[in-house]
């Protein structure tokens, strides 16, 4: 859906590049949703086929523990099946959290679990939350031409680099998403015409305000799917605050032969590729094929907001907290992607920063990239960080001209110098 929104942007660029379009394009949610859903269904099917190919038995039922070695599954007809195993892996993930204390939240609101499966356009939408899910959804809805508002209680993208996070939201605002900062919803009511009326409070002024929307999307976080597992029967401990399962470096829970991986495990990044790799490594260890542990350091990730944000390693705040203001050197640049020039797109938020140790050889601690194709750009640099890259080594890498990624290899201006970090020209 992000891609659909990007295509919308490209279609606006196209006339500047000589493509003559009779009239501006309109977007059909129904068509997009059908295509996306078909692809997802084909993936579901693919996973089932793969399981079958590899002779993995698959049951479509909800399971819960009976004891340390046994789980019970309830089939659709209510029939129960007991299964026992030497090792058990819990990978039940998480589901979006509903703010149940807000009146009308559950009755009238939806979550990202529903959004992608909507058959009809959500229309004018209020997205509540500041997680990457919230920003991504509000971003692509705007890009598809819908009226989207995002309501943030405190700060966007907590735990991410905050300078980058504010640039992300700044770009979204320029891009047409309405942003209500420091606001908290109080209740949702359904009006006679079917629209949803949301009342919220501005936390700074304590002023109340109201607005009507077609859809209210909750993206305030996710809860791990642990409550219905009867974990206590197996003796698996969870964190009382997060409800996530406590695990050690081997991914083992408080019961040594029961493991937990992915979003359900406490302290792990909630990312698909980390879950995939953790699963694969766990299987290898269980079969005695290797003793490799998952390395959760320097996990790269990308937020697919309209202007994508990719990062790997430490945020500037985290680096300063670890090494002190004096121990850290930050190199940065505002750049303009070449493709933005012809359609005169605003590039005010296209920004890169590299967080390094200050002492030579200035080991790279973190890289933050805001711009088109951030995911593609960040992946290779994640490898460079893995290889222990220094600032000097990155600077000695010849750039690929003309790309956005080459700007990373040309970061000459340090924040400390106070010089203007705006890139001009090719040199």
Partner 1 sequence: MGDVRGVSVPSPPGRRARLSAAVTSRLSSAAREELRRRLLGLIEGHRVVIFSKSYCPHSTRVKELFSSLGVECNILELDQVDDGVSVQEVLSELTNQRTVPNIFVNKVHVGGCDRTFQAHQSGLLQKLLQDDPAYDYDLIVIGGGSGGLSCAQEAAVLGRKVLVLDFVVPSPQGTSWGLGGTCVNVGCIPKKLMHQAALLGQALTDSRKFGWEYSQQVKHNWGTMTEAIQNHIGSLNWGYRLSLREKTVAYINSYGEFVEHHKIKATNGKGQETCYTAAKFVVATGERPRYLGIQGDKEYCITSDDLFSLPYCPGTTLVVGASYVALECAGFLAGLGLEVTVMVRSVLLRGFDQEMAERVGSYMEQQGVRFLRKFVPVVVQQLEKGSPGKLKVVAKSTEGPETIEGVYNTVLLAIGRDSCTKKMGLEKIGVKINEKSGKIPVNDVEQTNVPYVYAVGDVLEGKPELTPIAVQAGKLLARRLFGGRLEKCDYVNVPTVVFTPLEYGCCGYSEERAVEVYQKENLEVYHTLFWPLEWTVACRDNNTCYAKIICNKLDDDRVIGFHVLGPNAGEIIQGFAAAMKCGLTKQLLDDTIGIHPTCAEVFTTLQVTKASGLDITQKGC
Residues of span 22-51 touching partner 1 by CB under 8 A: 22-33, 35-36, 38-39, 42, 46
Task: Check if 175 is active-site.
Answer: no
Reduced 3-state DSSP string for 207-249? EEEEEEECEEEECCCEEECCHHHCHHHHCCCECCCCCCECCCC
Residue 399 CB, nearest approach to partner 1 (Å)? 4
Q: How far is CA 424 from CA 250, 334, 351, 416, 427, in A?
A: 49, 9, 13, 20, 8
Tell me how many residues contact partner 1 (CB under 8 A). 85
Footprint of partner 1 on residues 117-156 (CB under 8 A)? Answer: 144
Name the residue nearer to partner 1 (CB basis): 366 or 372. 372
Question: Which residue in the set 75, 174, 342, 419 belongs to the binding site for partner 1 (CB under 8 A)?
Answer: 342
State the catalytic residue, choosing from 87, 171, 257, 401.
401
Binding letters toward partner 1, positions 209-248, x by CB under 8 A: ----------------------------------------
Footprint of partner 1 on residues 357-376 (CB under 8 A)? Answer: 372-373, 375-376
Q: How far is CA 206 from CA 200, 203, 383, in A?
A: 10, 5, 48
Footprint of partner 1 on residues 378-417 (CB under 8 A)? Answer: 378-384, 386-390, 393-394, 396-406, 408-409
Footprint of partner 1 on residues 298-327 (CB under 8 A)? Answer: 299-302, 310
287 binds partner 1 (CB under 8 A): no
56 binds partner 1 (CB under 8 A): no
CA distance 139 to 133: 10
The answer to whether the CB of 222 falls within 8 A of the CB of 97 is yes
CA distance 311 to 374: 8
Which tokens in the block code for residue 46? 């693919």
Name the residue nearer to partner 1 (CB basis): 20 or 193. 20
| Burial call 375-400: b when 16+ CB within 10 Å, e when fewer | eebbeebbebbeeebbbebbeeeeee
CA distance 171 to 150: 13
425 binds partner 1 (CB under 8 A): yes
Catalytic residues: 401
């Amino acid at each position: 859906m992000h891609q659909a929104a990007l295509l919308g942007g490209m279609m606006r660029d196209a006339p500047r590049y000589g493509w003559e379009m009779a009239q501006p394009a309109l977007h059909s949610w129904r068509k997009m949703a059908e295509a996306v859903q078909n692809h997802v269904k084909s993936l579901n099917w693919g996973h089932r086929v793969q399981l079958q190919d590899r002779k993995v038995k698959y049951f479509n039922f909800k399971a819960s523990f009976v004891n340390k070695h046994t789980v019970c599954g309830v089939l659709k007809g209510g029939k129960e099946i007991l299964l026992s195993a030497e090792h058990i892996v819990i990978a039940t993930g998480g589901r979006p959290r509903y703010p149940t204390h807000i009146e009308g939240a559950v009755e009238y609101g939806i979550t990202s679990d529903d959004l992608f499966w909507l058959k009809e356009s959500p229309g004018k939408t209020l997205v509540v939350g500041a997680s990457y899910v919230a920003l991504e959804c509000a971003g692509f809805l705007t890009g598809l031409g819908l009226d989207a508002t995002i309501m943030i209680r405190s700060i966007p993208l907590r735990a991410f680099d905050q300078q980058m996070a504010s640039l992300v939201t700044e770009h979204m605002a320029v891009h047409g998403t309405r942003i209500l900062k420091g606001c908290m919803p109080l209740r949702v009511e359904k009006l006679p015409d079917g629209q949803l009326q949301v009342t919220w409070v501005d936390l700074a002024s304590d002023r109340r305000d109201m607005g009507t929307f077609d859809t209210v999307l909750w993206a305030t976080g996710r809860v791990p799917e642990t409550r219905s597992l009867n974990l206590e029967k197996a003796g698996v401990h969870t964190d009382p605050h997060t409800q996530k399962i406590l695990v050690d470096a081997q991914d083992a829970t408080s019961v040594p032969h029961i493991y937990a991986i992915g979003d359900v495990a406490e302290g792990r990044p909630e990312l698909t590729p980390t879950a995939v790799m953790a699963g694969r490594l766990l299987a290898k260890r269980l079969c005695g094929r290797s003793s490799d542990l998952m390395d959760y350091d320097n996990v790269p990730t990308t937020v697919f907001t309209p202007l994508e944000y990719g990062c790997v390693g430490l945020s500037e705040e985290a680096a300063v907290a670890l090494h002190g203001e004096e121990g850290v050197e930050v190199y940065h640049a505002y750049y303009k992607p070449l493709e933005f020039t012809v359609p005169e797109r605003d590039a005010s938020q296209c920004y890169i920063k590299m967080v390094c140790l200050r002492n030579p050889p200035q080991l790279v601690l973190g890289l933050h990239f805001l711009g088109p194709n951030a995911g593609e750009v960040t992946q290779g640099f994640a490898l460079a960080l893995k290889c222990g890259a220094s600032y000097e080594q990155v600077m000695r890498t010849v750039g690929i001209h003309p790309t956005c990624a080459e700007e990373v290899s040309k970061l000459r201006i340090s924040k400390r110098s106070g010089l203007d970090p705006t890139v001009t020209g090719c040199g």
